[in-house]
Amino acid sequence: MMGTCIALFVLAWGVVRLWSIPAAVGMCVVAMVIPPLAAIVANRRGPEDRWWDDPSGDRKSDEWWDELDGKRKR
């Protein structure tokens, strides 16, 4: 995705601007939207990824959360 972004910028101002400045600006606008989308896609978690259930390493905190979640009773 980031390679596409860089290619759009380089082509827009190296080649396309010679024929159409509005098209070059449009290509840059599209290239501007790609990095946030790339970050969203890269940081996406799958439905089977249950990172919130992982123990934190602090025994008291884990016991407290387990009690709140109803996993373990006192």
Q: Are 37 and 43 in contact (CB under 8 A)?
A: no
Backbone CA torsion sign across 32, 3, 20, 37: negative
Q: Which residues contact 39 (CB under 8 A, 6 or more apart)?
A: none
Residue 44 has pLDDT above 80, yes or no: yes
Q: What is the pLDDT of residues 18-39, one digit of tens each?
A: 999 999 999 999 999 999 999 9
Report the candidate in 66, 43, 68 with the shortest Cα–Cα distance to residue 55: 66
Report the candidate in 12, 30, 31 with the shortest Cα–Cα distance to residue 20: 12
One-letter amino acid for residue 16 of the chain: V
Name the pLDDT band for 72 (thresholds 50, 70, 90).
low
For the chain, give every domain's residue range. Answer: 2-42
- The structure's pTM equals 0.58
Residue 74 has pLDDT above 70, yes or no: no
